[in-house]
Amino acid sequence: MRAVLAILLAILPSGALAGDGAAPLKVAAASDLAGAFEEIGALHRAATGRAVVFSFGSSGLLARRIVEGAPFDLFASADPALIDEAIGSGAALADSREVFALGRVALFPAAGVEPVAGNLSGLAAPRFRRIALANPDHAPYGRAAREAIEKAGLWAALHPRLVFGADARQALQFVRTGNADAALTALSLAGAEDRPVPVDGSLHAVVRHAIVVCSRSPMPADARAFAAVVAGAKGREILSRYGYLAPGGAR
């Protein structure tokens, strides 16, 4: 996949993939990828002339839309199992599947709230009256956060205090708007105003991010070119700035 973009750019002038007045590439992506993917989308447009339009949300809900026929060109998930389900349903192309990054969970305390260590032992303190997570029923970062709470031995104590966002971004938004005292969500979402504390990696399974081309895409070559940027050196440079780790041999 990584060679596709280089080959296309070598043989085609800028904009030739897209053509004049071309429709944008439509990418469904896990909400934690928003910052990094907006940057990668700008790179793709500069190289190919085709704009990229993103739909960010929980991986589980996006996967359901794709399986049901939503007109996306690419799907980037925070859980490769959802990619595999899309492939199994015929909605995505197996040969385009690639794990491109590993995500990290972090604790985000609200303004004025003292943070706790990455082992989460301090979350039982009374100052954490409401703790936000992405909904673990369909959001991989919500599942990872729930697993971390359980492994820290705090589930019984904290369960009554939990509030659930639709996705990783909304969980953090609860903190930023004063509707939660802390959030356990994706480190990649951190902004200048945040004070994230990375959660001890032994408390939850690695959050793997994978990308796949949708089988209904009318522009599969351009979709593969975008995926090649994501998984290539430029994409990983951008992703690393948002706290993602290189995938190594992850599947």
Boundaries of every domain in the chain: 2-102+208-241, 105-198
The whole-angstrom separation of Cα 87 and Cα 100 is 17
Q: For residue 228, give every residue at least 6 positions away whose Cβ sits within 8 Å of its Cβ, in sequence order, or none.
A: 1, 2, 3, 4, 5, 6
| CATH no., domain 105-198 | 3.40.190.10
Answer yes or no: is pLDDT of 115 > 70. Answer: yes
Q: What value does the mean pLDDT of the chain take? A: 91
What's residue 249's pLDDT? 59
Q: What is the mean pLDDT of residues 203-226?
A: 96
Confidence tier at 67 by pLDDT (50, 70, 90)? very high
Answer with the residue of higher pLDDT: 19 or 183. 183
The superfamily in CATH containing domain 2-102+208-241 is Periplasmic binding protein-like II (3.40.190.10)
What's residue 15's pLDDT? 39
What's residue 177's pLDDT? 95
Q: What is the mean pLDDT of residues 217-243?
A: 95
Answer yes or no: is pLDDT of 220 > 90. Answer: yes
Radius of gyration of the chain, Cα coordinates, nearest whole angstrom:
19
Q: What is the mean pLDDT of residues 194-210?
A: 95
Answer yes or no: is pLDDT of 228 > 80. Answer: yes
Give Cα 218 to chain centroid, integer Å: 24
Q: What is the mean pLDDT of residues 177-189?
A: 96
How much is the pTM?
0.88
- Over the chain, what HEC string results? CHHHHHHHHHHCCCCCCCCCCCCCEEEEEEHHHHHHHHHHHHHHHHHHCCCEEEEEECHHHHHHHHHCCCCCCEEEECCHHHHHHHHHCCCECHHHCEEEEEECEEEEECCCCCCCCCCCHHHHCCCCCCEEEECCCCCHHHHHHHHHHHHCCCHHHHHHHEEEECCHHHHHHHHHCCCCCEEEEEHHHCCCCCCCEECCHHHCCCEEEEEEEECCCCCHHHHHHHHHHHHCHHHHHHHHHCCCECCCCCC
Answer yes or no: is pLDDT of 230 > 80. Answer: yes
What's residue 248's pLDDT? 81
- Say whether 105-198 and 2-102+208-241 share the same fold: yes
Answer yes or no: is pLDDT of 250 > 80. Answer: no
